[in-house]
Amino acid sequence: MNTQSLTDTASKLVADDKGLLAMDESNPTCNKRFAKLGIPQTLEARRAYRELIVTTPGLGKYISGTILYDETIRQQKKDGTAFVKVLTDAGIIPGIKVDVGAKDMAGHPGERITEGLDGLRDRLAEYFQMGARFAKWRAVIAIGDGIPSRSCIEANAHALARYAALCQEAGLVPIVEPEVLMDGDHTLERCRKETEEVLRNVFIQLNCQRVLLEGMILKPNMVLPGLTCPTQESVEEVADITVNCLLRTVPAAVRGIAFLSGGQSAELASARLNTMNLRFNSHLPWALSFSFARAIQQPALEIWQGKEVNVSAAQQALIHRARCNRAARRGEYTGAMERTGA
């Protein structure tokens, strides 16, 4: 394992207050989002949309790395330039989603286990060859009556750690993503309890599998009340409980924490990240960053609508969200940025 290059890459992914742009939707997920907006669900539409993202002027000022999908890492611009080259030329590190999805867990109704370990060593070698320098694996943990179960948490944490160890062997920085879902009417406190349990298990397994903490990024959920919980706490309460949960569970050696957005609105995700950095930044051992998909892409996708004439306006919406989120890393994001687009 080349510990120096892993540590350097992990540091670059959180440097200069930049963050990650996740554009690693699987084809079914991407098609679902297209269908909602009446965009054709074709290979060419997916390619054109990803070209729009990677060619957004000035993206590298706010974004350190993008997470691609297997189809996308092999694609090119219309003029034949590989997306990986476009990104690298813009100073953006290409990354790749390597899990093959969360599947129903046998004997555990309502729970899922993420698959993709078989053959992973060979796939990672190929992705490294293609220019990827980091990878992502997402585990999903649902909250409900009697769930998550201990077995679901342990199985997912174990898979995350096996994946992370293989990534580091291949020279790729693992983004370790255990997502506690927002779906349901559970309280903020319940989300805190389950998130703490999940993170504790994840770090036990990461240590057990000898994963270099300095050469990884954690991608957790923010601690949030369930989407249908009648009590929705303030941005400040969410920021405090999230940071305290992370302080209890994430070792200081971890280079950075880059939140997923998980279905929050784009503005709320920026506001919550901003408040965490505003209140705690100087006391934290790790960078608090973003690795959003929906909260960074959705406004752009809605403007694009699959039409060439909307590309430039969609790119402006994308760069606006990227700029807002970099400001949130600095504790400088304000609602006024949304109104002025500044």
Catalytic residues: 177, 219
Q: Around 278, how many Cα atoms within 13 Å sit in the side-chain half-sphere?
A: 16
**Cβ(319)–Cβ(59) below 8 Å:** yes
Whole-number minimum distance, CB 340 to ligand 13P, in Å?
Answer: 25
Looking at the Cβ atoms of 17 and 25, the one nearer to ligand 13P is 25
Instruction: Examine residue 292 and tell whether it contacts ligand 13P (CB under 6 A).
Output: yes
Residues 6+ apart with CB under 8 A from 280: 239, 243, 288
Whole-number minimum distance, CB 164 to ligand 13P, in Å?
Answer: 15
Instruction: Examine residue 161 and tell whether it contacts ligand 13P (CB under 6 A).
Output: no
Whole-number minimum distance, CB 261 to ligand 13P, in Å?
Answer: 3
Q: Which of 166, 293, 303, 319 binds ligand 13P (CB under 6 A)?
A: 293
Residues 118-157 that bind ligand 13P (CB under 6 A): 136, 138
- Provide the residue type at 230 as one letter: P
Looking at the Cβ atoms of 138 and 158, the one nearer to ligand 13P is 138
Q: How many residues bind ligand 13P (CB under 6 A)?
A: 13
| Distance, CA of 28 to CA of 305 (rounded, Å) | 18
β partners of residue 271: none
DSSP 181: -
Looking at the Cβ atoms of 65 and 331, the one nearer to ligand 13P is 65
- Helix 311-329 vs helix 43-54: angle between axes, to the nearest 10 degrees? 50
Residues 79-118 that bind ligand 13P (CB under 6 A): none
Instruction: Examine residue 260 and tell whether it contacts ligand 13P (CB under 6 A).
Output: yes
Whole-number minimum distance, CB 78 to ligand 13P, in Å?
Answer: 25
Q: Which of 19, 215, 226, 262 binds ligand 13P (CB under 6 A)?
A: 262
Residues 6+ apart with CB under 8 A from 147: 108, 110, 111
Residues 6+ apart with CB under 8 A from 36: none
Residues 5-44 that bind ligand 13P (CB under 6 A): 22, 24
Nearest CA to 301 out of 44, 96, 293 is that of 293
Looking at the Cβ atoms of 28 and 146, the one nearer to ligand 13P is 28
Q: Around 263, how many Cα atoms within 13 Å sit in the side-chain half-sphere?
A: 12
- Phi first, then psi, for residue 61 (nearest 5°) are -75, -25
The number of beta carbons lying within 10 Å of the beta carbon of residue 257 is: 23
Tell me which stretch binds ligand 13P (CB under 6 A): 70-78, 227-235, 247-255, 287-295: 287-295
Nearest CA to 287 out of 96, 21, 12, 94 is that of 12
| Distance, CA of 251 to CA of 286 (rounded, Å) | 9
Tell me which stretch binds ligand 13P (CB under 6 A): 188-196, 292-300, 307-315, 334-342: 292-300
| Distance, CA of 56 to CA of 32 (rounded, Å) | 23
Residues 172-211 that bind ligand 13P (CB under 6 A): 177
Looking at the Cβ atoms of 106 and 289, the one nearer to ligand 13P is 289
- Provide the residue type at 59 as one letter: L
Looking at the Cβ atoms of 51 and 177, the one nearer to ligand 13P is 177
Whole-number minimum distance, CB 4 to ligand 13P, in Å?
Answer: 27
Whole-number minimum distance, CB 39 to ligand 13P, in Å?
Answer: 17
Instruction: Examine residue 272 and tell whether it contacts ligand 13P (CB under 6 A).
Output: no
Applying CB under 6 A, which residues contact ligand 13P?
22, 24, 67, 136, 138, 177, 260-262, 292-295
